Amino acid sequence: MSQFVDEAQVNVRGGDGGAGAISFRREAHTPKGGPDGGDGGNGGDVFLRADRNVASLLAFRDHPHRRATSGTHGGGKRKTGASGDDLVVTVPEGTVVKTHEGERAADLISHGDSYLAARGGQGGRGNASFLSNSRRAPSFAEQGEYGEERWLRLELKLMADAALVGFPNAGKSTLISTVSAAKPKVADYPFTTLVPHLGVVRFRDHEYVLADIPGLVEGAADGRGLGHRFLRHIERARVLVLLLDLASVEGITPAQQEAVLLSELGRYEPQLLERPRLVVGTKADVATMPFDGNRISAATHDGLDELLGGIGTLVDEARGAEPEPQPFVVLRPVEEGFSVRRDDDGAWRVFGRAAERVVAMADLTNLEALAYVHDRFRKMGVERELAKAGAREGDTVRIGAIELEYQEGIL
């Protein structure tokens, strides 16, 4: 079974925050001391990071779950709990991160590119943090916030300087095994190559990475054959090398092969047609069809020097024309504020991380903590926005997983 995996799903979860402590000073000469409960530690974050030493997404195939460690609880004497460790999950260079719905979240192109995949939960504040002139002995503390959890889709697009593109059995695997140390499977039947292969070519003053892309067929842009799974790996190549089979057993002429290949590339991604490319006839030693362009034979090595030199020149020119790399990484901004909308059943829902965090971290069974939540919402303007939206006495208000009853002057 092949050990190359270019698609995977991963479940990431940040560590939970530790709970704040409820504690009061109890010393020999201070029998009724003030609150001294410490804060809980924050949960660790989960990062995805591109690493040049990782070759595929195989590690996620059977073990898709990745979780950072949680923070510890606070203690008396204002002791703050330890924060959880961040978890760095390495992926190959060229990995595209998408949400479960298919929206692109980040493109980890170069070694070291990182993406914050799941935030850790915030540690809860101890009762010492709630001391005020009106609240001299707070008997409540915050719970730790749960870490963020979600599923992500990972797709690998190979990072190659030049890609070999051609019909099945056009000689791509034979060529790359001849000019590099890559050892793809070679046999005389369609789709021998089921996964891409990379090989490093060193020829005279040139050094570049050559990719053997599994054979394209007519309709590949629509998903025929292995369709988009193959075409995806061509996207990052600087140079395209079209290999035309001069001994096609199906009798497809080189001109027809070239027309189909260009059509499929253009339908999948029109910009691919603007890439520098070489068009080469293969199997020159057993050719049965005429061809006026460059011809090679991987078996006899005829024409290989000219081909490798030509690819190297185009790769060098393409590298020289590129601007300094600017990795495309979408950072998810911290959500500020809140919004109010109405659910289908008529209940009101308050959206926004800040508002949801207030109720998620509060002990709503404690009347003093509940009064604090109401006070926080008044200061944030939640009550005012609900009133503006049309909320009436007794209406249900949902915030996160909590349901509250709207009462004017309270919420």
Confidence (pLDDT) at 280? 97
pTM strictly above 0.85: no
Confidence (pLDDT) at 40? 97
Alpha-carbon distance of 35 to 158, in angstroms, equals: 58
Q: Report yes or no: 214 and 193 within 8 Å, Cβ to Cβ.
A: yes
Confidence (pLDDT) at 272? 93
E-strand ranges in 188-327 read 197-203, 206-212, 239-245, 277-282, 294-295
Place of tokens 């073990």: 63
Distance separating the N- and C-terminal Cα atoms of the chain: 60
Q: Report yes or no: 182 and 201 within 8 Å, Cβ to Cβ.
A: no
Cβ atoms within 10 Å, residue 113:
21
Alpha-carbon distance of 317 to 172, in angstroms, equals: 23
Confidence (pLDDT) at 187? 40
Confidence (pLDDT) at 228? 55
Alpha-carbon distance of 144 to 121, in angstroms, equals: 7
Taking alpha carbons only, the member of 24, 17, 21 closest to residue 38 is 21
pLDDT, tens digit, 9 for 90 and up, residues 91-149: 999 899 999 999 999 999 888 999 999 999 999 999 999 998 888 899 999 999 999 99
Q: Which residues pair with 87 in a beta bridge?
A: 46
Confidence (pLDDT) at 247? 94
Contacts 24+ apart (CB under 8 A), 176-180: 176/210, 176/212, 178/298, 178/301, 178/304, 179/203, 179/210, 179/304, 179/308, 180/210
Confidence (pLDDT) at 336? 60
Instruction: Give Cα 175 to chain centroid, integer Å.
Output: 33
Task: Tell me which residues of the chain have a pLDDT lower than 70.
Answer: 1-4, 30-31, 182-195, 215, 217-229, 324-336, 409-411
What are the distances in angstroms from CA 318 to CA 92, 265, 305, 314?
A: 23, 19, 20, 6
Q: Report yes or no: 108 and 327 within 8 Å, Cβ to Cβ.
A: yes
* CA dihedral (50, 51, 57, 63) positive or negative: negative
pLDDT, tens digit, 9 for 90 and up, residues 146-197: 999 999 999 988 788 999 998 888 888 889 989 987 654 444 444 444 567 8
